[in-house]
Structure 1
Amino acid sequence: GRAAPKPRPSATAAQPRHAMSISQGSMDSRAPQARLRRACGALRMQGRLQILPLSMVLVLLLASLPSPSLAVNGGKVMKLDADNFNTAIRENKFVLLSWHSTTCTACEDVSRKLEDAAEKLHAAGSPVLVASCDGNFWGALRDKYGVMRYPTLQWFKYGEMQPYTGGADSAMEIVEWASRKGRPWAAKPDTPEKLKALEATEIAIILAYFKEPKGEAYDTFFRVGDDIEDVRFAVTSDAATAKAAGLKREGVVALTNFEDEARAAVPYKGKLTDEAALRAFVSAEKLPLSIEFKPAHEERIYNRDVPKQLFLLSHARDVVPGGKPLETFREVSKEFRGRLVFVHAALEVPATEPLLKHFGAGGQEYPLVLGLASGAGGGKYMHRGGFNQKELAEFARSVVNGTAQHYYKSANVPEKAKEKGVTVVVSKEFHRIVNDPTKDVLLEVYAPWCEHCKKLEPIMSKLAQRFKDVDSVVIAKMNGEENEHPMVAPRGYPSLFFFPASSEMLVTPYDNGEKPRTLKALTEFVLQQARTPVSDDMLYHPPKLSEEEREEKKLQRHLRTARREIDAKGIYSTGTMDDSSKSFVEGMIKEQLRKEVHGEL
């Protein structure tokens, strides 16, 4: 046997990928022989390998096999922690991992589906290990793998983390996705009929013909096929099957049957041992001239081999075969195959809404062409020239070369400058408000759906109230879902940044990992960072409450909580109670809480 190749470090994709150092021997079915060979090699290097007794051979062979408890786990979801995490990821070729929290209600539903999926995968003989890890309890592991919310699913192949791009509405969705990702690296059609049947199920196939499955050319094809997952690879040793694919001698061919395009058989003309050239060929031929934007095509659109995309957004009549904008777009794509993924989307289709939101591209003139480059140095771009083949090609070239001008989305300027005393910032107004050299600005970047942001909202309001009489200090907030700016790159929500009064446009992040987000802590932070001196007597301090006022405030807080709990049960929202009934119930709750506050119960 021989050791399987090391996995190629992935190009930066739509989400960050984290590579782990792993041994070669855990990579495919040939790994046990490879481990045994290396073990013998180590003994030989030490001059200790003479004639091994059978017992020693068995010991070495058994030591080379993966642990059954990790590789199979009996169809159960394996619980990972700091002790077994690295071993599980290292010793299993494929791992589907769920990050959860014991306080997360949505995690319970996903956990049940994962348990069902693990049983189904095990029954089908899949090599996929299904595992889970409590991110709150094992915070260091959670942070290492960039988990920011629960539940989060991640996929590991050869110890390398990749984003989970499948659905989770049912256990079968999880099973189908994991089965496809964990399937054998290549199909093996040995008759023309089997190749025809394979073509009927795949829109693109990279087929290799080798008289014998060995040698340097075969190894090169294996490395590429085992690493690239978003196109089906196949290998045959049958001359008749190769002839049906258009191969008269050993070689590689791309068989494609894309929607709205005729079947094509494109031969690879480079050296069979040139891995880089073979990868470039696969990247160029595995995709159509333009892909329709929809969830089922997500993996093909955001693939790691071509991490840059060009999007055509227009009305449905423009992005159908024969539509002039789409045909112009496809003509441009021919020059950039393998370097850009061309995507078209109809504005009337609901699936396009996330794309519009991601770019902040609503209300523009259409057709509109947008660019996206993932990872470090990447960004969003908007074509502002004419919609013709020449100018579109120039824009595409600038995206490929990294010379395109960055585009940052922005919400419209709000009618009211402040909300509860906090200044509202949008990208269009960022420089005027945040980079004002006469102002010290504390900016919160938040998301409307973020629970932590909702908890911080009253604190930010009180902070703004505290500094309301200090003209040099601005307490502000910006919706990170609708606005972007190069000076703020939040790793999560909420994120706080301080911009001192300076013409140098400096920024200091507030370390949420070590500093509490309390009124006292944030007040001290602003006072410490402010370039313009602020004394305590300049701050607003509300008058102290009497005992009765504190009790009443506590009562009102309990009452609001009770109302939320009632509303959560649907009593108010479903309309099953009229106004008088609501008043009666609230009166009962209020009286009950008043007795609790006063210690009568």
Structure 2
Amino acid sequence: MFTAKPTSRSVFFSLLLLLLLAIFTATSLSSEPTAPDEDSGDLGDLQELIALDEEADLSSEGGRHESKDKPSGAELLSRAHRIVLELNSDNTKSAIDEAKNQEIVIWRKKKTGAPVLRINSINEATGILQKHSMFVVGLFEGFEGPDYEEYKKAAQIDNEIQFIETSSAEILKVLFPDAKPAKLFLGLVKSEPEKYTSFEGTFNANEILQFLEDNKFPLVSVLTELNSAKVFSSASKLQVFVFAEPDAFKELLEPLQGVAKEYKSKIMLIYADIRDDNLVKPFLTLFGLEEPKDIVVIAFNYTIGSKYLLESTATPRSIKGFCLGVLDGTVPPYYKSQPAPDNKDASILAVVGKTFDDLILNSQKNILLEVHTPWCITCDTTSKQMEKLAKHFKGLENLVFARIDASENEHPKLQVDDYPALLFYSARDKSNPIKFPTKSSLKDLATLINKRLKEQDAEIKDEL
């Protein structure tokens, strides 16, 4: 059932809120390097940790705050573009206001008066062409019958597009020159290269509304500051973005229009000039592409919250294959990663997206992983605790300390919303990491580690 949708503006700000949760994610110790066997021994070995913890508390007093959630996914894009719009010129803001006002006028007319505007003369038809950049027109003989009722029902549900009706074939030709002679007709008119689109389905309100949803954008939308909110609000389809300089994109346009026409109900193709930092930079940052290629192709599936990157050379054939692969699931989601670091002699392993499987999930050892971000205020305190714990437990063959910067690295198995985070991956079960409280003292954290190691030893003994 096709139901009424909120205006593009309301969807845009809803998207802002919904996507706020996503996808970005040195003092020496003199205790023994082995894990104590008795609880009393644990406490004795941790006295220096307690003293160091109290010392750290004094030095950081008053500096602890709640960590900030990491923005990610299309939220980063939407928020960045909203800032662009807010900071832009008065002329830009006036144009946006004018577009919003036109939507409000259409909505108000539909809700307070007739949802369909009847045109009875050539002059009125000419006025419609001058006033509306997009409208749907229907030809009905006598303005009655089930087809006409379904048309009116669709007009009442839709909040965005002006619906026009006429009984004159002559007037229809003014509004829709490509219309074929018929007693019944429906078509969408846009101020785009593919200006006229005829409806070929059954006159049913849901089918009419789906037709409008599939065709209201051009086959390839050019992303601008004026239409960015409306583009981002249309998140029901797979969105494929092509970033290139205009001359390079000319060679891609025609074949991409063919792809868009064939899959218009599933794919929305969008182009932006790669030189336009205001529009494109947020996307590149989201994918970790600081030095992009001449042509960048990315995609977003908002239904499942995944993003994709075409990693081969962008050609008409490869872009089509990329689109179809994302649709059928053969192209895997993209997770950004820093280069693999050299962890030789490191007391705390630096983990990145591409090494997460090897160093964490496939490791035969227990792992305590610190997940941090640059904007997290309390991450520094947790990092210092990790360094002290790594020093304290140095020498244990079955325990590894590691950390990952979630702002630069992603992995499908690493889902963290609050930073910092401490995750204990047991050597016996890497699929269910145990979350340690980051506000714990050094003593408490060390006690938790010892507890987990002893539980594991007991399980092994029981199996033997």
TM-score by length of 2: 0.65
Offset of 1:209 from its aligned partner? Answer: 5.2
Structure 1: which amino acid aligns with 2:199? Answer: Y
Answer yes or no: is the 8 Å Cα contact 1:310–1:396 preserved in 2: yes
Structure 2 counterpart SS, 1:510: strand
Find out whether 1:432 has 2:358 as its counterpart.
Answer: yes
Deviations 1:430-470 (A, max 9, x none): 12221243322222333322335455444444444443443
Choose which of 431, 436, 451 in structure 2 pairs with 1:506. Answer: 431
Aligned to 1:346: 273
Aligned to 1:372: 300
Aligned to 1:472: 398
Structure 2: which amino acid aligns with 1:256? Answer: K
Choose which of 314, 327, 331 in structure 2 pairs with 1:404. Answer: 331
Choose which of 276, 286, 290 in structure 2 pairs with 1:358. Answer: 286
Offset of 1:343 from its aligned partner? Answer: 1.7
Offset of 1:356 from its aligned partner? Answer: 1.1
Find out whether 1:334 has 2:334 as its counterpart.
Answer: no
Aligned to 1:394: 321
Alignment CA distance shift 1:334-1:451 (3 Å): same
Aligned to 2:461: none
Say how many residue pairs are matched. Answer: 381
Structure 1: which amino acid aligns with 2:196? Answer: A
Aligned to 2:247: 317
Structure 1 counterpart SS, 2:431: coil
Offset of 1:415 from its aligned partner? Answer: 5.9
Aligned to 1:235: 164
Alignment CA distance shift 1:355-1:6 (3 Å): closer
Within a 5 Å distance, the mapping from 1:163-562 to structure 2 comes to: 169=86, 176=97, 184-185=106-107, 186=110, 189-191=117-119, 196=126, 199-200=129-130, 203-208=133-138, 217=147, 220-221=150-151, 224=154, 232-236=161-165, 239=168, 242-246=172-176, 249-258=183-192, 261=193, 264-273=195-204, 275=206, 277-304=207-234, 306-319=236-249, 323-350=250-277, 351-363=279-291, 365-376=293-304, 378-384=305-311, 387-414=314-341, 422-454=348-380, 456-502=382-428, 505-510=430-435, 516=439, 518-530=441-453
Structure 1: which amino acid aligns with 2:236? Answer: V
Deviations 1:515-565 (A, max 9, x none): 845544543443344489699xxxxxxxxxxxxxxxxxxxxxxxxxxxxxx
Deviations 1:308-362 (A, max 9, x none): 122223344313xxx2133433333222212111122333220211111222344
Offset of 1:488 from its aligned partner? Answer: 1.1
Counterpart CA distance in 2 for 1:531 and 1:370 is: 47
Deviations 1:258-279 (A, max 9, x none): 2xx26x221212112151x324
Alignment CA distance shift 1:447-1:207 (3 Å): farther
Answer yes or no: is the 8 Å Cα contact 1:370–1:381 preserved in 2: yes
Offset of 1:497 from its aligned partner? Answer: 3.0
Structure 2: which amino acid aligns with 1:353? Answer: K
Aligned to 1:63: none
Counterpart CA distance in 2 for 1:520 and 1:213 is: 81
Answer yes or no: is the 8 Å Cα contact 1:312–1:368 preserved in 2: yes
Alignment CA distance shift 1:149-1:400 (3 Å): closer
Deviations 1:66-105 (A, max 9, x none): xxxxxxxxxxxxxxxxxxxxxxxxxxxxxx99x9xxxxxx
Alignment CA distance shift 1:178-1:266 (3 Å): closer
Alignment CA distance shift 1:163-1:428 (3 Å): closer
Answer yes or no: is the 8 Å Cα contact 1:253–1:265 preserved in 2: yes
Answer yes or no: is the 8 Å Cα contact 1:293–1:352 preserved in 2: no
Counterpart CA distance in 2 for 1:444 and 1:202 is: 56
Structure 2 counterpart SS, 1:433: helix
Answer yes or no: is the 8 Å Cα contact 1:444–1:494 preserved in 2: yes
Offset of 1:501 from its aligned partner? Answer: 1.6
Offset of 1:252 from its aligned partner? Answer: 2.7
Answer yes or no: is the 8 Å Cα contact 1:165–1:298 preserved in 2: yes
Aligned to 1:582: none
Alignment CA distance shift 1:194-1:476 (3 Å): farther
Answer yes or no: is the 8 Å Cα contact 2:237–2:265 preserved in 1: no
Counterpart CA distance in 1 for 2:352 and 2:379 is: 17
Alignment CA distance shift 1:453-1:245 (3 Å): farther
Counterpart CA distance in 2 for 1:454 and 1:441 is: 20
Answer yes or no: is the 8 Å Cα contact 1:326–1:344 preserved in 2: no
Alignment CA distance shift 1:181-1:257 (3 Å): closer
Answer yes or no: is the 8 Å Cα contact 1:283–1:306 preserved in 2: no
Answer yes or no: is the 8 Å Cα contact 1:332–1:392 preserved in 2: no
Answer yes or no: is the 8 Å Cα contact 1:14–1:374 preserved in 2: no
Unaligned stretches of 5+ residues in structure 2 = 21-67, 459-464
Structure 1: which amino acid aligns with 2:257? Answer: R
Counterpart CA distance in 2 for 1:454 and 1:178 is: 45
Counterpart CA distance in 1 for 2:143 and 2:441 is: 65
Structure 2 counterpart SS, 1:296: coil
Answer yes or no: is the 8 Å Cα contact 1:312–1:370 preserved in 2: yes
Aligned to 1:102: none
Offset of 1:410 from its aligned partner? Answer: 1.0
Within a 5 Å distance, the mapping from 1:151-166 to structure 2 comes to: none
Counterpart CA distance in 2 for 1:340 and 1:279 is: 17
Answer yes or no: is the 8 Å Cα contact 2:129–2:175 preserved in 1: no
Within a 5 Å distance, the mapping from 1:60-71 to structure 2 comes to: none
TM-score by length of 1: 0.52
